[in-house]
Structure 1
Amino acid sequence: MFKGLQPILYGGREVWPLIEGGKGVSATNHASSGAWAAAGGIGTVSAVNADSYDPDGRIVPQVYKSLTRRERHEELIQYAIDGAVAQVQRAYDIAGGKGAININVLWEMGGAQRVLEGVLERTKGLVTGVTCGAGMPYKLSEIAASHGVSYLPIISSARAFRALWKRAYSKAAEWLSAVVYEDPWLAGGHNGLSNAEDPRKPQDPYPRVAELRATMREGGISDDVPIVMAGGVWRLDEWANWIDNPELGTIAFQFGTRPLLTQESPIPPGWKARLMTLEEGDILLHRFSPTGFYSSAVRNPFLRNLEACSERQIAYTPVEVGDHAFQLDVGIGTKKNYWVTRGDLQHAREWFGAGYTEALKTPDDTLVFVTPAEMKTIRKDQADCMGCLSQCAFSSWADNEKNSTGRLADPRSFCIQKTLQDIAHGGPIEENLMFAGHSAFRFKNDPFYSNGFVPTVKQLFDRILTGA
């Protein structure tokens, strides 16, 4: 047992302060979260469009049959509720009364409040708490309290928590069981970088967490309410000065990346094998996500293609003005006026000659050049939108009266629902978005994983308890 690590009281029982991160679409399910809880920790089911099952136990494909986005959005919400309920029920059975089961939702996912309400209504007594981030989930506390479950907001700064506390959470303080600090430079998936923070200049998490604790104390929150360090956590001996530290109060640790490589992890074998080959720097903090958030993922050909697409981009004006004195003559219809600079006209002609013959408009008055096949895929994915986000830059969907963001759909982004569902269910790992934290490169050199060893969740949990 690592020195100083003590169990905490959560959900009426003692558990180890080790939380499994609830990762995305089907990257964390009942098998891994149930096993994590059975080992004595807090397992987290991802309630983001989770898999449901038919009577024979087979995964139900999430196929959308409706013609309109609004109708497909309703299908998506029902899939999401049914899937999360199924995952919670199975995880609870696997846990066998040990540890605790949380669910994780993204506040910016489509129909988030309806999904959360629907899941909690059908899982009474099974879910201990709800972790929630990706946005400012002001209503999280109200929903959790109404269902008698704890809530664990995911934030990336003391400032964000202060706003949530003052506006909403202070009214349901008794149900706040922890605050998750998700480091925006280290965590996998979507990250909470603000406009004031430089994505290229990571900050030390310690002073940021100390500031968070100070903010919590200002609100009268006990030091017994843990702050959960999430992002970049690999082994506990690297965080020894955080444990039993009076300045920080009670600290728990969230492990998101390491549980991906376990026997119970639901990600496909190819994904697991790829994790063992990553080098430092192979994880890219990028801003291609249709959510508008920064996110971290493996820099595979899928991401490289998005980078290349954005590099094949030129600004235009609808009339001749200043340096924009040359009329674009490739990649566009004959009846449109696009005025560009001399240099950009030359770039456009070169891209056209290389096969990138289609110019697509972006919301920023630029044109990106893609191949005809790429354009066909982009247009189809945009047309097939089912409203998986509260607002989507790629399709212009928004969960409002008009179902529109009011902005032009952005071809520089991608359908996140499509790619995450595909990679989680055996699709090609080089052609899809592969989320991972920035410590994923450590699989390759950590002796625990030597000779291709893939542990069970229990073996990993016990290893983490030793500090290694």
Structure 2
Amino acid sequence: MFKGLKPIVYGGHEVWPLIEGGKGVAVSNHQSSGAWAAAGGIGTVSAVNADSYDADGNPIPQVYHGRTRPLRHQELIQYAIDGAVEQVKRAFEISGGKGAININVLWEMGGAQPILQEVLSRTKGMIAGVTCGAGMPYKLSEIAAQHGVSYLPIVSSGRAFRALWKRAYSKAAEWLAAVVYEDPWLAGGHNGLSNAEDPNKPEAPYARVKALRDVMREGGIPDTTPIVMAGGVWHLRDWNDWIDNPELGSIAFQFGTRPLLTQESPIPQAWKDELTKLEEGDILLHKFSPTGFYSSAIRNPFLRDLESRSERQIAFSLEHAGDHTHQLDVGVKGKNFWVTRGDLLRAREWFGHGYTSALKTPDNTLIFVTDEDRAIIRKDQADCMGCLSHCGFSAWKDHDDYSTGRLADPRSFCIQKTLQDAVHGGDVDKNLLFAGHGAYKFKKDPFYSNGFVPTVGQLVDRILTGD
């Protein structure tokens, strides 16, 4: 047992302060989270468009029949509710009453509030708490309190937590079980980099977590309420000076990337194989997500294609002005696009290489893509089912007039489509594969030598040794 690590009381009984990070769209499912709880930790079922199953145990494809986005959005909400309820029930059964089961939701997912309300009402006594990030989930505490479950907000700064506490959480303080600090430079998936922070200049987590604890103390929150360190956590021995540290108070640890490579992990074998090949630097912190948030994923051909798509980009004016003195004569219909001479030459070069379609972005620029890619982009935008509360790729909004009022952005992608395809056996080179920046350690850690893939129980036992 790693020195200093002690169980905490959560959900009414003792558990290890080790949390499985919630990974959306069927990646943290009943198998992984149930096994994590059975090993004495806190397993996390993703309640983001989780899988339901048919009578033979096969995942039910999420096919949309509605002719309009609002109708498809209602189908998506129902899929999400049914899937999450099914996953929680199965995880709870696997746990055997050990550990605890949380669910994870993204506040910016489409229909987040009705989904959360319905899932909690249909799983009473099974869910210990709700982790929630990707946005500012002010109503999280109110919903959790209504259903008698704990809430664990995910933040990336003390400043964000202060806003949540003052506006809402202080009114339901008794249900606050922990605050998750998700390091925006190290964690996989979407993260909370603010406009004041430089994605290329990572800040060490200790001072930021200490600042978060100071904010919690200002609010009268006891030091026994843990801060969960999430992002970049691999070996507990690396965090030895955090445990029993009076400056930080109670600390727990969240593991998001390591549980990907377990026998119970539901991701396809090709994805697991990809994890064992990664080198340091192979995870890209990028802003292509239609959420508008930065996120981190494996820099595979899918992401490299998005990078090159944005590089084939030029600014335009709708009139002859300034240095926009040349009319664009490739990729567009009509003569109403004025560009610089240099950009005209670049556009003609791209056109000659097969990038023959120019698509407008919300920033008065044009990107050049192949006709095939243009057709895929337009189809994906038309097929939007409203999986986000605000989507940059399709200009969808899940309330009011259902429009963000901005032009749909072809530099982004349909995140629902690619995440569903990735976890259900799609080509790993053609889909988004979220991972934390420590994923390169799979290749270096002797625990995984000779192709060894542990069970979740074996992984938790290994983590508890400090390794």
TM-score, length of structure 2 as denominator length: 1.00
Aligned 1:35-434 pairs, distance under 5 A: 35-334=35-334, 336-434=335-433
Shift of 1:275: 0.2
Q: What residue in structure 2 maps to residue 12 of structure 1?
A: 12
Q: Secondary structure at the match of 1:120?
A: helix
Q: Secondary structure at the match of 2:214?
A: helix
Q: Secondary structure at the match of 1:359?
A: strand
Q: Distance in 2 between matches of 1:401 and 1:150?
A: 31
Q: Distance in 2 between matches of 1:199 and 1:17?
A: 29
Q: Distance in 1 between matches of 2:66 and 2:149?
A: 35
Q: What is the letter of the counterpart of residue 370 of structure 2?
A: T
Deviations 1:24-48 (A, max 9, x none): 1111100000000000000000000
Q: Secondary structure at the match of 2:440?
A: helix
Q: What is the letter of the counterpart of residue 377 of structure 2?
A: I
Q: Secondary structure at the match of 2:190?
A: strand
Percent identity over paired residues: 77
Q: Distance in 2 between matches of 1:272 and 1:344?
A: 42
Q: Distance in 1 between matches of 2:213 and 2:400?
A: 39
Q: Distance in 2 between matches of 1:225 and 1:205?
A: 18
Shift of 1:55: 2.5
Q: Secondary structure at the match of 2:70?
A: helix
Q: Distance in 2 between matches of 1:367 and 1:61?
A: 35
Q: Distance in 1 between matches of 2:60 and 2:418?
A: 17
Q: What is the letter of the counterpart of residue 382 of structure 2?
A: A
Q: Secondary structure at the match of 1:181?
A: strand
Q: What residue in structure 1 maps to residue 461 of structure 2?
A: 462
Q: Distance in 2 between matches of 1:39 and 1:187?
A: 23
Q: What is the letter of the counterpart of residue 344 of structure 2?
A: L
Shift of 1:136: 0.1
Q: Distance in 1 between matches of 2:130 and 2:196?
A: 29
Q: Distance in 1 between matches of 2:398 and 2:94?
A: 36
Q: Secondary structure at the match of 1:440?
A: coil
Shift of 1:143: 0.1
Deviations 1:298-339 (A, max 9, x none): 0000000000000000000000001000000000002x4000
Which consecutive aligned stretches of 4+ in structure 1 deviate over 3 angstroms post-superposition? none
Q: What is the letter of the counterpart of residue 179 of structure 1?
A: V
Q: What is the letter of the counterpart of residue 329 of structure 2?
A: D
Shift of 1:401: 1.5
Shift of 1:383: 0.2
Deviations 1:242-261 (A, max 9, x none): 00000000000000000000
Q: Distance in 1 between matches of 2:160 and 2:301?
A: 34
Q: What residue in structure 1 maps to residue 439 of structure 2?
A: 440
Aligned residues: 467
Report the more deviating stretch, 53-62 or 70-79.
53-62
Deviations 1:268-312 (A, max 9, x none): 000000000000000000000000000000000000000000000
Q: Distance in 1 between matches of 2:17 and 2:290?
A: 33
Q: What is the letter of the counterpart of residue 92 of structure 1?
A: F
Q: Secondary structure at the match of 2:4?
A: coil
Q: Distance in 2 between matches of 1:206 and 1:119?
A: 35
Q: What residue in structure 2 maps to residue 2 of structure 1?
A: 2
Q: What is the letter of the counterpart of residue 8 of structure 1?
A: I
Shift of 1:438: 0.1
Q: Distance in 2 between matches of 1:55 and 1:301?
A: 37
Q: Distance in 2 between matches of 1:410 and 1:214?
A: 40
Q: Distance in 1 between matches of 2:79 and 2:88?
A: 14
Shift of 1:238: 0.2
Q: Distance in 2 between matches of 1:57 and 1:360?
A: 43
Q: Which runs of 5+ in 1 are unaligned?
A: none
Q: Secondary structure at the match of 1:407?
A: coil
Deviations 1:67-96 (A, max 9, x none): 110000000000000000000000000000
Q: Distance in 1 between matches of 2:197 and 2:56?
A: 49
Q: What is the letter of the counterpart of residue 439 of structure 2?
A: A
Shift of 1:349: 0.2
Deviations 1:92-139 (A, max 9, x none): 000000000000000000000010001001000000000000000000
Shift of 1:371: 0.2
Q: What is the letter of the counterpart of residue 152 of structure 2?
A: L
Aligned-CA RMSD value: 0.5
Deviations 1:130-161 (A, max 9, x none): 00000000000000000000000000000000
Shift of 1:13: 0.2
Q: Distance in 1 between matches of 2:202 and 2:59?
A: 40
Q: What residue in structure 1 maps to residue 34 of structure 2?
A: 34
Q: Distance in 2 between matches of 1:250 and 1:390?
A: 34
Q: Distance in 2 between matches of 1:357 and 1:381?
A: 19
TM-score, length of structure 1 as denominator length: 0.99
Shift of 1:377: 0.0
Q: Distance in 1 between matches of 2:57 and 2:355?
A: 45
Q: Which runs of 5+ in 2 are unaligned?
A: none
Q: What is the letter of the counterpart of residue 248 of structure 1?
A: L
Q: Distance in 2 between matches of 1:400 and 1:7?
A: 43
